[in-house]
Amino acid sequence: MAFDYAPAPESRAVVDLASSYGLFIGGEFVDGSGSSFKSISPATEEVLAEVAEATEADADKAVAAARRAYARTWSTMPGSERAKYLYRIARIIQERSRELAVLESLDNGKPIREARDVDVPLVAAYFFYYAGWADKLEYAAPSWQPDGSRGSAPAPLGVAAQVIPWNFPLLMLAWKVAPALACGNTVVLKPAETTALTALFFGEICQQADLPPGVVNIITGAGETGRALVAHPDVDKVAFTGSTEVGKEIARAVAGTKKSLTLELGGKAANIVFDDAPIDQAVEGVVNGIFFNQGHVCCAGSRLLVQESVFDDVMTRLKRRMKTLRVGDPLDKNTDVGAINSPQQLAKIQELTAVGEAEGAQRWSAPCDLPDRGYWFAPTVFTEVSQAHRIAREEIFGPVLSVLTFRTPAEAVEKANNTPFGLSAGVWTDKGSLILWMANQLRAGVVWANTFNQFDPTSPFGGYKESGYGREGGRHGLEAYLAH
Amino acid sequence: MAAPVLSAPDDEELVSTPSALRRFLRGLPGVDQVGCEARAATLASRSIKTTAKAQALDLAVSMIDLTTLEGQDTTGKVRALCAKAQRPDPTDPSCPSVAAVCVYPDLVSAARTALGNSGVAVASVATAFPSGRAALEVKLRDTADAIAAGATEIDMVIDRGAFLSGDFTKVHEEIAAVRAACATSDGQAAAHLKVILETGELMTYDNVRRASWLAMLAGADFIKTSTGKVQPAATLPVTLVMLEAVRDFADATGRQVGVKAAGGISTAKDAIRYLVMVNETVGDDWLTPHLFRFGASRLLNDLLMQRSKLATGRYAGHDYFTLD
């Protein structure tokens, strides 16, 4: 007997959106000097609000505000005092968690279940975690010299320019802002143009927490705004999360300056399933690895490497599981896969999947009714994929999985590492020694064993090769914001 | 490792020697505890509202084995339970009856008389329930007594001691012998056999999966989590592992085995979580009392209370629902 879940929509009433938003500079919302653009809901194409497009002059004002706050208050404030502000921000995030989750889901298209159970709790956790480090930096980056003498104490870098992507708008903000502030830096943050709204709400939270004006500044806009911010001469540190293409452009722009740089870029992670894996959990991990957040995850397990002897079984189980994925209204509490974030991203996914078919891979999509309005893509898996196919090499950044097979652990390692990226990998086996051996061989910043897409503020995260450099999270994440 | 495709002759071969059986059960794919519990928790976060909730509540009522298994049970109490089983909500004729009444063997005839031809089955625990610590002849006599008194469903316990010591063959033989005792002389099933794994004593999910397969290979019609006398009783992750086992068994053999979650499920909210898990793990084929049951007593009143809340918009007080 069919059991259909009735719609269970989360209420939008908790979010009080203004019709337009300015820039958050020096602790105030101010008008931008340029034009504005619309932020839309990708699930319905409804306009949510107008957002200012920051110009070079606006970026200059924001950097100046950050510089003033750095010199006058933040860099000289004791770490224990900075911690109080960070704790306060973390608590306000928890108090406003429902509102933030609903807004994140509206603006980004991700399912409310993920925004509510993953994004927002992690955002608060990162602020709590780095608040704890603010008065213990001497232990995070000890100044003791080998001869027993003391070197200089760890010091902040100054003004940090931070440019973040649209896939986890608030979480990426937390990864950037929390360690920077804990170390005594001030920031100018530029959220992605399609998902600026939760960052602007974060501006309100900074006001609510009485954060000294200018410690956090938020300027909205697209590529031009980001370029102006990164190129600003009074910026000491640039931190970027986004595509490898833009990351390379930023590295070129920053080369030859005094600015220090951390980059967290694309990925094409291998999720490797051995024949002795806990099969049902492995399939669940594969699904979570690629369909979590519509596959808009830089560390997504977008290449599934399956040991040949269990290929048929894994594919049967995977397809059966994919049929139960609930695609649709992101605000419905039972939705598993939400909307693609933008028409541009949808076009890119469509282009690459068309190439996959043209190159001879076999495509299978989960049967599901997609809404008429908004941007949608059914969860899709490609088999008969070879290493040479573009869908095995390029980051699709969507709910599309490419499946390859292997016979031996050595072959699995060779295939997994045969990519310009190196952000993450997953290993599924009941054999502990194999997990340890694989973890040593894989050229990836994060290796998950019998799990995937797990994040924790205490754990460093970052890439090998063209997935970037520098680490975010954990004690390692402080290094990117400290001078020695 | 894939669950091997079974057919009838291979079945025989699998259980032909203790080492063959052990090899097969040990070769089943492992269960990762963290992943299994995480999946169960995600499924538990489904939001079942309005029409879906109404459907789920009625379905849950119809899946209950309304149970009383106390030393202090009396025929009077069993008669009361049987009345409630047939008309759970006397004020609402649209309320379905429960699936069965579950009692000790000596109270089967009282239940049989009280239930008559109502369609509500009489289930009896047997085989030296709940510990299972008795000789096989005693267990078989226990079973035969219950069937003779009119039980159409037998809830047997496995020998956990034998299972944990690795003597899978002994467990298999006992289940097969009870299975045979549940059949009439012409081989027809006189009673449905539910095999209680007592997962609270098996300790690992790997063991739960092995015990599930062992019971199914020996001919179980249902595999059941718990006696209710050991903590923990039914949990969502344990039930998930058992549902995966019946799904894989059906894929391999074509035979559909039921699952009964028993013990500790006392709220409508919990019951709905189990139904969601059944729906998304084995599919809606199993959303019938023929293939999924709740072993419970307190659960029924909460389901009735939620049913009336859905219909009237208000909660009635506890005193509006009969005590069993």
**CATH at residue A404:** 3.40.309.10
- β-strands A159-163, A186-190 pairing: parallel
* Percentage, residues of chain A above pLDDT 90: 96
State how far the alpha carbon of A465 is from the alpha carbons of A248, A416, A477, B199, in Å: 12, 13, 18, 48
Beta-bridge partners for A144: A150
- Beta carbons of B100 and B123 less than 8 angstroms apart: yes
Q: Could you identify the residue written with the tokens 């994919």?
A: A322
**What DSSP line would sit under A34-78, residue for residue?**
S-EEEEE-TTT--EEEEEE---HHHHHHHHHHHHHHIIIIITTS-
| pLDDT tens sequence across A389-444 | 999 999 999 999 999 999 999 999 999 999 999 999 999 999 999 999 999 999 99
Q: Is A310 found in the same domain as A239? A: no
Phi and psi, residue A410, nearest 5°? -60, -40
For tokens 């109080």, the residue is: A84
Residue A399 burial class via C-beta count within 10 angstroms: exposed 0-12, middle 13-18, buried 19 and up: buried
Q: Give the chain A residue nearest B4 (alpha carbons).
A: A313
In a domain, A10, yes or no: no
Q: What is the CA radius of gyration of chain A?
A: 22
CB–CB contact B35 A312 (8 Å): no
Give the whole-angstrom CA distance, residue A48 versus residue A39: 6
| Mean pLDDT, range A152-176, rounded to an integer | 96
Between CA A317 and CA A324, with CA A323 as vertex, the angle to 5 degrees is 100
Say if residue A34 is in the same domain as residue A150: yes
Closest A-chain CA to B244: A280
Lowest-confidence region among A36-45, A216-225, A400-409, B187-196: B187-196
What residues pair up with A37 in beta bridges, in sequence order?
A51
A367 contact partners, CB below 8 Å, separation of at least 6: A323, A378
Report d(CA A120, CA A97) in Å as an integer.
Answer: 6
B35 vs A2, A285, A333: nearest CB: A285
Query: Are B170 and B162 within 8 A, CB to CB?
Result: yes
Structural domain tally of chain A?
Answer: 2
- Give the distance from CA A158 to its chain's centroid: 24
Q: Are residues A192 and A113 in the same domain?
A: yes
List, in sequence order, every beta strand (DSSP E) within A410-457: 424-428, 446-449
User: Which residues constitute the domain of residue A388?
Assistant: 270-456
Q: What Cα–Cα distance (Å) separates residue A66 from each residue in A83, A180, A219?
A: 18, 12, 12
CA distance A212 to B185: 87
Answer yes or no: are the C-beta atoms of B193 and B182 closer than 8 Å.
Answer: yes
Q: Strands A28-30 and A23-25, how do they pair? A: antiparallel
* CA nearest to A89, candidates A161, A15, A174: A174
Q: Which of residues 333-372 of A touch B (CB under 8 A)?
A: 333-334
Query: Which member of A6, A282, A450 has the closest CB to residue B51?
Result: A6
Q: Which residues of B touch A312 (CB under 8 A)?
A: 2
Residue A143 has pLDDT above 90, yes or no: no
**Cross-chain Cβ contact A279/B47 below 8 Å:** no
Amino acid (1-letter code) at residue A345: Q
Answer yes or no: are the C-beta atoms of A372 and A47 closer than 8 Å.
no
Cβ contacts (< 8 Å) between B32 and chain A: which residues?
278, 281-282, 450
C-alpha A42 chain-centroid distance = 18
The angle at the Cα of B131, spanning B126 to B136, to the nearest 5 degrees, equals 55
B141: left (phi over 0), alpha (psi -120 to 50) or beta: alpha
How confident is the model at residue B1, as a pLDDT? Answer: 42
| Count of residues in chain B | 324
Residue position matching structure tokens 């344990």: B238
Contacts of residue B310 in chain A, CB cutoff 8 Å? none
Residue A293 DSSP class? G
Given a cut of 60, whether residue A12 has pLDDT beyond it is yes
The residue among B252, B52, B240, B271 whose CA lies nearest residue A332 is: B52
**Residue closest to B206 by CA, chosen among B85, B18, B36, B5:** B36
Cα angle A183, A186, A187 (rounded to 5 degrees) comes to 115
Give the CATH number of domain B8-312: 3.20.20.70
**What CA–CA distance (Å, rounded) separates A72 from A396?**
45
Q: Which residues of A touch B51 (CB under 8 A)?
A: 6
Domain membership flag for residue A213: yes
Which residue reads 């006599």 in tokens?
Answer: B141
Residue for token digits 């052990």? B22
According to DSSP, the residues that pair with A161 across neighbouring strands are A188, A238
How far apart are the CA of A335 and the nearest CA of chain B, in angstroms?
9
**Residues of chain B contacting residue A334, judged by C-beta atoms under 8 Å apart:** 46-47
Output Rg (C-alpha) for chain B, integer angstroms: 19
Residues whose CB is less than 8 angstroms from the CB of residue B180 and which lie 6 or more positions away in sequence, other chains included: none
Per DSSP, the residues of A335-397 read -SB---S-HHHHHHHHHHHHHHHHTTPEEEE---PPPSSS-----EEEES--TTSHHHHS---
Q: Which residue of B has its CA nearest to A287?
A: B39
Distance (Å, whole) CA A13 – CA A417: 47
Amino acid at A142: P
Measured between alpha carbons, how far is B81 from B72 in angstroms, rounded to an integer? 14
How much is the pLDDT for A141?
A: 82
Q: Which of A484, A446, A196, A429 is nearest to A299 (CA)?
A: A446
Cβ contacts (< 8 Å) between B239 and chain A: which residues? none
Half-sphere exposure in the Cβ direction for B55 (13 Å, CA): 17
A310 touches chain B (CB under 8 A): yes
* pLDDT digits 0-9 by tens, A360-375: 999 999 999 999 999 9
Of all residues in chain A, the one with the smallest CA distance to B51 is A6
pLDDT at residue A188 is higher than 80: yes
Give A285-314 pLDDT, tens digit per residue.
Answer: 999 999 999 999 999 999 999 999 999 999
Q: Is residue A7 part of a domain?
A: no
At what angle are helices B168-181 and B136-148 packed, to 10 degrees?
30
- For chain B, say whether A431 makes contact (Cβ under 8 Å): no
Strands A468-469 and A260-264: antiparallel
- Counting residues of chain A whose pLDDT is more than 70, the rounded percentage is 100
pLDDT mean values, one per 10 residues, chain B (324 residues):
51 87 95 98 97 98 97 96 96 96 98 96 97 96 96 98 97 97 83 97 97 97 97 97 98 96 97 98 97 96 96 88 78
Q: In 3-state terms, what secondary structure has residue B230? A: coil
In a domain, A204, yes or no: yes
3-state helix, strand and coil shares in percent for chain B, rounded to the nearest 5: 50, 10, 35
The answer to whether B198 touches B160, Cβ cutoff 8 Å, is yes
The runs of H, that is alpha helices, within A276-342 are 279-291, 311-323
Tokens 């213990």 label which residue?
A136
A240/A274 same-domain check: no
A144 and A189 in a common domain: yes
- Between A2, A275, A333, which is nearest B1 by CB? A275
CA distance A370 to chain B (A): 20
CATH number for the domain spanning A102: value is 3.40.605.10
Residue of A nearest to B276 (CA): A3
**Residues of chain B with C-beta less than 8 angstroms from the C-beta of A8:** 47-49
Do A170 and A301 belong to one domain? no
Q: Chain B: which residues have CB within 8 Å of chain A?
A: 1-3, 29-32, 34-36, 38-39, 45-53, 55-56, 59, 244, 275, 279-280, 284, 287-288
Contact B30 A278 (CB under 8 A): yes
A207: contact with B, CB 8 A cutoff: no
**B45 to A279: CB separation less than 8 angstroms, yes or no:** no
Distance in Å, alpha carbon of A316 to nearest chain B alpha carbon:
11
Q: Are residues A288 and A410 in the same domain?
A: yes
* Same-domain check for residues A235 and A355: no
> Which sign, positive or negative, has the C-alpha torsion B181, B184, B187, B188?
negative
A258 lies in the same domain as A312: no
Closest CA of chain A from B260, distance in Å: 18
Segment A156-170 mean pLDDT: 98
Tell me, yes or no, whether A207 and A335 share the same domain.
no
What is the reported pLDDT for B184? 80
- Checking ipTM against 0.90, whether it exceeds it is yes
The answer to whether residues A384 and A258 belong to one domain is no
Residues 6+ apart with CB under 8 A from B263: B225, B226, B227, B228, B229, B230, B233, B234, B295, B296
Domain membership flag for residue A3? no
Report cis status (omega within 30 of 0) of the bond before A7. no
Give yes or no: residues A108 and A55 share one domain. Answer: yes
- Closest residue to A8, CB basis, from B32, B49, B279: B49
Residue of A nearest to B281 (CA): A321
Give catalytic residues of A, as residue numbers: 264, 298
